[in-house]
Amino acid sequence: MPARVSLFVTCIVDQLFPEVGLAAADVLERIGYTVDFPEKQTCCGQPAFNTGYRDEAREVACHCLEVLAGADYVVVPSGSCASMITHHYDELFARDPARLEAVRRLKPRVWEFSKFLLEVAGVEDVGARYDGVVTFHDSCHGLRELGIKEGPRRLLGRVQGLTLREMDIPEECCGFGGTFSVKFPSISGGMSRTKIESIVKTGADAVVGVDASCLLQLRGALSRDGLPIRALHLAQVLAAH
Amino acid sequence: MEMSTAPHAQFRETLADSGLQDAIYSATGRLMEKRLATIRPDVLPDYQELRERAGALKKLAIENLDYYLEQFESNVEARGGRVVWCRDAGEAAEFLVKLAREKDARLLTKVKSMTTEEIGLNEHLQQHGLEAVESDLGEFIVQLARSRPYHIVAPALNLTRYDVADLFTRTLGVERETVPENQTKIARRVLREKFLAADIGISGANFLVADSGAVVLVTNEGNGRMCTTLPRVHVAVAGIEKLIPRAQDLAVFLKLLGRSATGQPLTVYTSFLAGPRRANEADGPGEFYVLLLDNGRSRLLADREKRQSLYCIRCGACLNHCPVYRKIGGHNYPWVYSGPIGTVISPQFLGIAHDPWLPFASSLCGACAEVCPVKIDLPKLILELRGEVVKAQSREGASRLERLGFRVWSWLMRRPKLYELAGMMGSLVLSGSGDGKWLRGVPFPLSAGPLKAWTSVRDLPPLPSRSFRQMWRTRQAGSR
């Protein structure tokens, strides 16, 4: 009986980039896991939490806790949403002992996609092939809250045909920042241009990341500027063969 | 959803000024690089331990501030100095004006100090016919330009040497000089006379040492020593949060401050000033005052979580590493303190109603917390302040639409079937032209609010005809 993982695809992937969720499922199945998708899942609550609407965030987080309660492993193709559960639910439920207990039980089972591959599955080579030059964007919450830095690079390093070329500022924010992107569009847009300049300099034909939200921002700006550079989730690259 | 009270037009103006953008980006970039070069594991292997220690020491000082303040006061007085307690800007200015009258002083020279900027000291003094001259080169330039500091550590960061050349010609009547070294010589000539003629020297304080009653100043230009030893009287103006418990703690703080601020293992000068000139000493002021300023700080102390804002040692590293500061620069922030630390302390000092947009002007990337030498959890504090703004605004009935939006969102997110249905409806409206091309704009009535803001600078992906959950059902049905 192979181990079972539950995908928490995030609302952005569900609604905007379903191909990322499918790619993550493909990779996990390829390395021997049984993948399920708890159908009642929606969002982790981060949009409200980061905009100061704690009550609304808590309501949605309660729902998320219930939906994921029965999972052995929860794999999330997003550093930011995984970190919302593992690093911010505590604070959200600080005054709710029962739910805090549920958070404590859930936390160790929640894994960001690349960390799951490396630290739980112990797999570095997933048998992928991608012919092209890519550059890797470090997503802020993945990098600074979950310590995701070398992992995705190790995974990319084992992809046949792939060349990884680093940016001069891989760790600089893409400018998304959730509602920041629409509350301060000019600043957010400016930040994405700084990042894009650095992406273009690498000569890569795709920028790869572990958060669909950063890719939404980067791809949106690349598209507006007429630049033919793709923005791909790590799962999409690892699913390719 | 653009926040109505934020100065968006000013942001756009700063963003469109390519010369200014280059100046900000390259200056902060240089400071970032220099910092990184001095904290590398091979040159400072215990950097992270030092940060831990510094944060813990600041916590100790702030949690026991009453004790350390009194200890500091008695040690200053034991050395023949005087501590003056000031509740606010008015009291600080009043004391200095009175002191100047008593001493028949006209001219005051100043060492760079954000605290005196905070209370607008120069303007206060000027109103009473006193001349206060800034002697730090950057501050000297800022004062000539009648501007305010652009950066906590590098006040004239936004000006190029050509700007400075024009400014010197206009205000000092000198020939146009664009070589920085020669510009420094011009400033030096002007300032030398001021140093010799000054009656009172005013400084800030980087640290106040409780167990020795010393004011510690770190400077690079020598102006600090001129201001604190030549005039008859030295007044150090410092916020009460500058206290550290013991002189030996400086071993931790001095290692971090220069590195974090300017990428220097130590600044050129580190001055330990304790009391006036003693009988056997050749120079130093005859009178020594430390003006301890509250100006709202004790209010911050009351908040268990947010009081960590008072740990700040004003190194400016969070500004240099902040992608938002690097876009909008220092003058688009509402107060003298800019960047992430300004975002966190301004609402607490001025009240959150003053600039309710400020805590939202952050992508929460966390670069600031990563570089803070005293480990202030800046993103966490920004989030807390956002929560406070939302609460305050709902009491006042402001941001009704946004609140309604999040109410509906929360309701929908707890009803997966309706959430799915809403997604399907969305994909009908925002399906694009079917060729996968991203959208430059959105149709009415969506062409307002967040989607309008989004598409003002970026394209929007067409919503796929089927969501992940729908595709998943097909996939599972097929595999069975």
pLDDT digits 0-9 by tens, A197-222: 999 999 999 999 999 999 999 999 99
pLDDT of residue B449: 87
Shared-domain flag, residues A106 and A164? no
Shared-domain flag, residues A94 and A179? no
Contacts of A25 in chain B (CB under 8 A): 472, 475
Shared-domain flag, residues A46 and A92? yes
The answer to whether B136 and B223 are in contact (CB under 8 A) is yes
Shared-domain flag, residues A58 and A113? yes
* Chain A CA closest to residue B408: A56
Residue B362 belongs to some domain of the structure = no
Task: State how far residue B54 is from chain A, nearest Cα, in angstroms.
Answer: 21
The answer to whether A208 and A232 are in contact (CB under 8 A) is yes
For residue B270, what are the β-bridge partners? B218
Residue B436 belongs to some domain of the structure = yes
Contacts of B426 in chain A (CB under 8 A): 15
Contacts of A39 in chain B (CB under 8 A): 416, 469
The answer to whether B20 and B329 are in contact (CB under 8 A) is yes
Contacts of B391 in chain A (CB under 8 A): 52
Option in A25, A56, A183 nearest B2 (CB): A183
Contacts of B357 in chain A (CB under 8 A): 183
Average pLDDT over chain B reads 95
pLDDT of residue B63: 97
For residue A115, CA distances in Å to A30, A75, A118, A122, A207 come to 17, 9, 5, 9, 19
**Number of domains chain B contains:** 2
**B447: pLDDT strictly greater than 90:** no
Q: Which residue type sits at B291?
A: L
Given B298, B318, B344, which residue is the final one in a domain? B298
Shared-domain flag, residues A135 and A227? yes
Given B264, B298, B332, which residue is the final one in a domain? B298
Least confident piece of the model among B47-56, B99-108, B288-297, B435-444: B435-444
Interface contact flag, A50 B383, Cβ < 8 Å? yes
**B271: pLDDT strictly greater than 60:** yes
Neighbouring C-alpha atoms within 13 Å toward the C-beta of B308: 19
Shared-domain flag, residues B68 and B212? yes
The answer to whether B233 and B199 are in contact (CB under 8 A) is yes
Cα radius of gyration (chain B) = 26
ipTM of this complex: 0.96
Given B259, B275, B298, which residue is the final one in a domain? B298
pLDDT of residue B480: 62
Shared-domain flag, residues B112 and B243? yes
What 3-state DSSP class applies to B82?
Answer: strand
Helix axes A97-106, A54-68, angle to 10 degrees: 50
Q: Which residue type sits at B360?
A: F
* Chain B CA closest to residue A35: B476
For residue B234, what are the β-bridge partners? B201, B288
Given A56, A91, A119, which residue is the final one in a domain? A119
Residue B469 belongs to some domain of the structure = yes
Residue B462 belongs to some domain of the structure = yes
Q: What's the CA gap between A90 and B37, in Å, rounded?
A: 36
Shared-domain flag, residues A115 and A129? no
Give the range of the structural domain holding residue A206, as residue numbers without chain letter. Answer: 125-239
Shared-domain flag, residues A105 and A59? yes
Chain B interface, best mutation among A12, A33, A56, by max B CB count within 10 A: A56
pLDDT of residue B1: 39
Sign of CA dihedral A181, A184, A189, A190: negative
The answer to whether B289 and B236 are in contact (CB under 8 A) is yes
Q: What's the CA gap between A186 and B1, in Å, rounded?
A: 13
Structure tokens at A197: 């300049």
Q: What is the pLDDT of residues B184-214, one digit of tens each?
A: 999 999 999 999 999 999 999 999 999 999 9
pLDDT of residue A1: 55
Shared-domain flag, residues B81 and B211? yes
pLDDT of residue B2: 40
The answer to whether A44 and A81 are in contact (CB under 8 A) is yes
**Number of domains chain A contains:** 2
> The domain that contains B129 carries what CATH number?
3.40.50.10420
**Helix, strand, coil distribution of chain A in percent, nearest 5:** 55, 15, 30
Shared-domain flag, residues A115 and A131? no
Given A119, A137, A161, which residue is the final one in a domain? A119
Given A78, A103, A119, which residue is the final one in a domain? A119
What 3-state DSSP class applies to A7?
Answer: strand
* Rounded average pLDDT over A193-199: 98
Q: What is the pLDDT of residues A113-132, one digit of tens each?
A: 999 999 999 999 999 999 99
Interface contact flag, B323 A56, Cβ < 8 Å? no
Q: Sorting pLDDT into bands at 50, 70 and 90, what band is B415?
A: very high
The answer to whether A49 and B379 are in contact (CB under 8 A) is no
Q: Which residue type sits at B454?
A: W
* Rounded average pLDDT over A183-205: 98
Shared-domain flag, residues A133 and A76? no
Shared-domain flag, residues A99 and A145? no
* Chain A CA closest to residue B431: A16
Q: What is the pLDDT of residues A37-67, one digit of tens each?
A: 999 999 999 999 999 999 999 999 999 999 9
Interface contact flag, A173 B367, Cβ < 8 Å? yes
**B3: pLDDT strictly greater than 50:** no
Interface contact flag, B423 A141, Cβ < 8 Å? no
Shared-domain flag, residues A110 and A142? no
Contacts of B362 in chain A (CB under 8 A): 177, 180
Q: Sorting pLDDT into bands at 50, 70 and 90, what band is A236?
A: very high
Give the range of the structural domain holding residue B247, as residue numbers without chain letter. Answer: 12-23+42-298
Task: State how far residue B301 is from chain A, nearest Cα, in angstroms.
Answer: 21
> The domain that contains A144 carries what CATH number?
3.40.50.11810
* Rounded average pLDDT over A183-192: 98
Residue B47 belongs to some domain of the structure = yes
Residue B327 belongs to some domain of the structure = no
Task: State how far residue B56 is from chain A, nearest Cα, in angstroms.
Answer: 21
Q: What's the CA gap between B201 and B221, in Å, rounded?
A: 16
Shared-domain flag, residues B425 and B294? no
* Chain B CA closest to residue A218: B458
Residue B50 belongs to some domain of the structure = yes
Q: Which residue type sits at A103?
A: V
Shared-domain flag, residues B227 and B94? yes
> The domain that contains A68 carries what CATH number?
3.40.50
Residue B316 belongs to some domain of the structure = no
**A238: pLDDT strictly greater than 60:** yes
Interface contact flag, A223 B388, Cβ < 8 Å? no
* Rounded average pLDDT over B65-83: 98
Option in A45, A50, A62 nearest B364 (CB): A50
Option in B11, B406, B423 nearest A15 (CB): B423
